[in-house]
Chains A and B, each alone.
Chain A
Amino acid sequence: MNPTASQEIHAHLQHNDLSLAVRRMLDLSLEIEDENLMRESIQWSKLYHASIDNREAQPGEPFFKMGSDLLSKTRQAEASIKKADIRLLEVNHISKTYPKGNFSLHTISMSVKGGDILGIVGENGHGKTTLLRCIAGQLALDQGKLEFKLLNRPDHYDIRHHVAFIPQRIPRWYGRLKDNLHFSAAIYGINGKWNELMVDFMLERFNLSRYQDLTWNQISSGYRTRFEIARILLQRPSLLILDEPLANLDINAQQTILTDFRYMAKSIAHPMGVLLSSQQLHEVEKIADSVLLIKNGHCVYEVVKGKASQQSFALEIETPIDRQELLEILGDHMQIQFNGGFYTITSEQHAVQEIISKLISKKVPITYFRDITYSTKRYF
């Protein structure tokens, strides 16, 4: 049986994963939709960030006391959360050719449900952005059909209102960061005190409170991405499309954001379908339920977690020894490709563990290795 969110938060606190515990608590309070609980969670988050700002090794006793109080409240409320199971989008045989240019996106079909994370990977210029923009209603389709299951006979405005899309190049905004968040919430019907609460919530959730009075020019591109995600999430979207959201983020922020997407998508009461494109294959594959590899406008490979099967095993390693030596060590039935400092070893007979054992037994110095048997990396 999967642990509940409260149990996870308790575990995070026990193992000193305080940042994650705070973020999960904020998510849980939002899911419960209890105003007081949300306010307390925001306060708890502020306590945590204050301790970070003060460079304390660990937050003080009030933080942990408040955490346990909150946990006792959420445990009771958690039981009342009703699970929502929704279908969001059916993409049926869509294709797109630009009138001026020689690029075509060939027929693609897919389905997105609430809670699904769909990663779209591929090299630059092969159609990831085109696919996402088609789904977001920004580009006209040549063929095929998009069915938004939550909308009843929608017009284009309804679709653009319904789909939350974050483009690769975030559009510039003007004025203060916080005003923009208030405005975004208000135009989606979040008014009055609830607007204030939700904006405070998002500022804390994405660690933007310190930047709330700053403008576009005063914050880094990474924080602009965070702001954009916070702004979009204020709309409580059921379908979120992100084009290269990791491009401007540092490695820690990438991990944090991806983990957050996973938690938010898997929300029990408000599951969200997430489509994201990225060059960070491994990071995306780690959180995505399925991954599409787009090459020259074709969907060449689709990995669905738990349903993956391969004819051969593949391992990626980094080692100072040369290819000939490796072939001698590994013997027959192995193919070795050298690609930009990495070797990709494929074998139809030997599993990855066996290959690694062989390398270690021969004392081959390995500085990096990754099992890419089920990864789209094989097709790059």
Chain B
Amino acid sequence: MKLNRPLCPGFLKEWDRDLLLNKPDTWSTRIHLVVYYCLLFMIALTFICFVVPNDPREYSSVYLWVIFVSLISFVGFIVWLIFLLRFNVFKRFGNQGNLNAIKTFVFFFLCTGTMVLCPFIPPIVESMRANMKYSGQEIASDINAINSRILLLEHDSIPLRWHKDTIFVVNDLRQKQIVVDNNDYPIDATGDRILPGFKVLDTAEFNRKVQSIDSLQKLNDSIYLFFECPNYQFVSTYIPSYRYDEEPSMAGLWTSVKLYREVLQHYKKTDLSKTRKELMDLLLKYAPEKSQYSYYDSDNKSYESRISRKYSLPPVNNRLYNIVSRKYRWDNHTIRSSIEVFYYVTLVLTMFVFIYRRTSLRTFFLSLLAAILVTIFTSLAGAFFDIRDLSLNVLLLIYYAIFCILAFQQSRKTRNVFSGIALNFFVLGTPFIPLIIVAMAYDIIRKIYLMKNEVVPYFENESRNYVYSEIAGFVLLLLLMTFVFRHLYRKWFAQPEQ
């Protein structure tokens, strides 16, 4: 076949011809061309993202790149849709194997997924560049050095005494009929503190706090002293410490306690001018020029605020944050949301492409209109009857059941647009059904706890179960695609018109 496509190598032309002559259903999805051209685009994009000027310390402009690449991907998607219009085995009543529906769906998913993946390239490259320029160890040691030197320089003007709390531990607050305020101080009915200087904790809360307290001293079985070290982290990354667990090099970042023990506990006078010069060198490394931004300071009388102003620390903190947020953009705590964005955008677009290829144009657009109407109706019902959480999920399941019944109740004689719309909704709703059921299950469990006037516990596996339900939804979709949807669409589309 004569191909005038740019950058199309010989092997791809051969492959294209081979698919056209032997696998027309695969050929008509254009997967070979979509994946090839997307890979070319990704390589070019990666190269461009690597060569454009990008300082990891500066604010990231990656969102502009994401918008730009998303628009290009969208144009690519439209072009692909136009190509999909040209050849359709199903609508031409050609030979259909048993696995044809699932095969074309998977190919559509791969094509769409490849296009949806493109906007992820700029942030990935940005992270790679930040990782190449600054290691976690380097940042941790620089932050430690900056904080240590500030402590050495400001030793005489910072608080050295640790904050102390006396804790009174009881087995159960309700049994003792003790009420505590937000700061754990016992109060009476008028809200006055009844044990000045004491905080009251039940054993569960006590055990939880013990995990995070800097130091404690046991006075007897019921009374403890909690010690909290003053804040000595004048420079930090604003990234929660639990996220450093993913990055061993960042685990070397000193806490306030560690800084106290390393610098202040055995304090020795140092050469202040030398220390100041070292500090300035370190600060200049991250904030070489004066910041053009002004920073809001909510507590300008505190020692932290004074030190921050004295050494112009906000720009340093911001730049460290810029670097670290780039570096840890893809860690375990944030990657899931990225995967979900990728998965759901790809899934929804793929399902639209699939139903677009299996229904008449009129039914497809009427389905979109019906989806809008159903959304409006549901929103109104939600507003009037306070439908949310469990009741919303029940309503969605009822919708699904209705669409399922209507899709199966196809007229024997003629093609009916309502059956077509119901069938499209049946397909669109399927991958979300396990998710809805899991959400319903958790809603019911929570309601049971509340009905019993019990505290709703934290469900450790909830997040994991949602992931399982998402996977189950996809598997269910593929199974129904093979055994149900294929037959329903075949029957519906071929039926004569009135």
Which chain A residues have a beta carbon within 8 Å of chain B's beta carbons?
Answer: 98-99, 134, 137-141, 155-157, 159-161, 173-176, 178-180, 182-184, 186-189, 191-192, 195-196, 213
* A180 CA to B93 CA, complexed, in Å: 15
A186-B22 contact in complex given A140-B413, A157-B93, C-beta closer than 8 Å: yes
Which residue on B lies nearest to A193, using beta carbons?
A: B21
Pick the contact of B24 from A161, A187, A213 — CB < 8 Å?
Answer: A187
Ordered nearest first, which 8 A-B pairs have the shortest CB separation?
A: A187-B94, A156-B494, A186-B24, A174-B86, A157-B494, A140-B496, A140-B414, A160-B93
Contact, CB under 8 Å: B94 / A188: yes
Q: Which residues of A contact B419 (CB under 8 A)?
A: none
* A138 CA to B95 CA, complexed, in Å: 19
Interface size on B, residues (CB 8 A): 29
Q: In this assembly, does B174 line the interface, its C-beta being within 8 Å of a C-beta of chain A?
A: no
Q: In this assembly, does B392 line the interface, its C-beta being within 8 Å of a C-beta of chain A?
A: no
* A60 CA to B28 CA, complexed, in Å: 43
Q: Which residues of A contact B23 (CB under 8 A)?
A: 186
Q: Which residues of B contact A213 (CB under 8 A)?
A: 2
Pick the contact of B95 from A134, A160, A175, A188 — CB < 8 Å?
Answer: A188
Contact, CB under 8 Å: A157 / B490: yes
Interface string of B378-407 (1 = CB under 8 A from A): 000000000000000000000000000000
Q: Give the distance to chain B from A101, nearest Cβ to Cβ, in Å.
A: 11
Which residue on A lies nearest to B18, using beta carbons?
A: A192
* A180 CA to B491 CA, complexed, in Å: 26
Contact, CB under 8 Å: A139 / B491: no
Contact, CB under 8 Å: B494 / A191: no
Pick the contact of B20 from A155, A160, A161, A183 — CB < 8 Å?
Answer: A183
A99-B496 contact in complex given A155-B490, A161-B94, A174-B86, C-beta closer than 8 Å: no
A139-B21 contact in complex given A160-B93, A174-B86, A182-B1, C-beta closer than 8 Å: no
Q: Which residues of B contact A188 (CB under 8 A)?
A: 94-95
Contact, CB under 8 Å: A155 / B21: no
Q: Give the distance to chain A from B103, nearest Cβ to Cβ, in Å.
A: 14
Q: Which residues of B contact A178 (CB under 8 A)?
A: 1
Q: Which residues of B contact A192 (CB under 8 A)?
A: 21-22
Q: In this assembly, does B85 line the interface, its C-beta being within 8 Å of a C-beta of chain A?
A: yes
* A149 CA to B142 CA, complexed, in Å: 86
A175-B2 contact in complex given A140-B414, A187-B92, C-beta closer than 8 Å: no
Q: Which residues of A contact B490 (CB under 8 A)?
A: 155, 157
Q: In this assembly, does B498 line the interface, its C-beta being within 8 Å of a C-beta of chain A?
A: yes
* A188 CA to B95 CA, complexed, in Å: 6
Q: Give the distance to chain A from B28, nearest Cβ to Cβ, in Å.
A: 7
List 15 additional contacts besides A176-B2, A195-B22; criterion CB under 8 Å. Answer: A137-B494, A138-B496, A139-B498, A140-B413, A140-B495, A140-B496, A140-B498, A155-B494, A157-B96, A160-B494, A179-B1, A186-B23, A187-B25, A191-B21, A192-B22
Q: Which of A137, A157, A173, A176 has the most CB of B within 10 A?
A: A157
Contact, CB under 8 Å: B498 / A186: no
Which chain B residues in 1-32 approach chain A with CB under 8 Å? Answer: 1-2, 20-25, 27-28
A-B contact pairs, 11 of them (CB 8 A): A137-B496, A138-B497, A140-B496, A140-B498, A155-B494, A156-B495, A157-B96, A175-B87, A186-B24, A192-B22, A196-B21
Contact, CB under 8 Å: B85 / A186: no
Which chain B residues have a beta carbon within 8 Å of chain A's beta carbons?
Answer: 1-2, 20-25, 27-28, 85-87, 89, 92-96, 413-414, 490-491, 493-498
Which residue on B lies nearest to A191, using beta carbons?
A: B22
Q: Which residues of A contact B1 (CB under 8 A)?
A: 176, 178-179, 182
Q: Give the distance to chain A from B82, nearest Cβ to Cβ, in Å.
A: 8
A186-B495 contact in complex given A157-B93, A161-B94, C-beta closer than 8 Å: no
Q: Which residues of B contact A137 (CB under 8 A)?
A: 494, 496
Q: Which residues of A contact B413 (CB under 8 A)?
A: 140-141
Contact, CB under 8 Å: B93 / A161: yes
Q: Which residues of B contact A191 (CB under 8 A)?
A: 21-22
* A173 CA to B91 CA, complexed, in Å: 13
Contact, CB under 8 Å: A99 / B93: no
* A176 CA to B86 CA, complexed, in Å: 11
* A155 CA to B487 CA, complexed, in Å: 11
Q: Which residues of B contact A176 (CB under 8 A)?
A: 1-2
A156-B21 contact in complex given A179-B1, A183-B28, C-beta closer than 8 Å: no
Contact, CB under 8 Å: B496 / A182: no
Q: Give the distance to chain A from B477, nearest Cβ to Cβ, in Å.
A: 22
Contact, CB under 8 Å: A187 / B89: yes
Q: Which residues of A contact B25 (CB under 8 A)?
A: 187
Q: Which residues of A contact B497 (CB under 8 A)?
A: 138-140
Contact, CB under 8 Å: B24 / A183: yes
Contact, CB under 8 Å: B86 / A156: no
* A137 CA to B495 CA, complexed, in Å: 8
Contact, CB under 8 Å: A182 / B494: no
A179-B20 contact in complex given A138-B496, A140-B496, C-beta closer than 8 Å: yes
Contact, CB under 8 Å: A175 / B491: no
Contact, CB under 8 Å: B95 / A187: yes
Q: Give the distance to chain B from A192, nearest Cβ to Cβ, in Å.
A: 6
* A176 CA to B4 CA, complexed, in Å: 12
Contact, CB under 8 Å: B86 / A175: yes
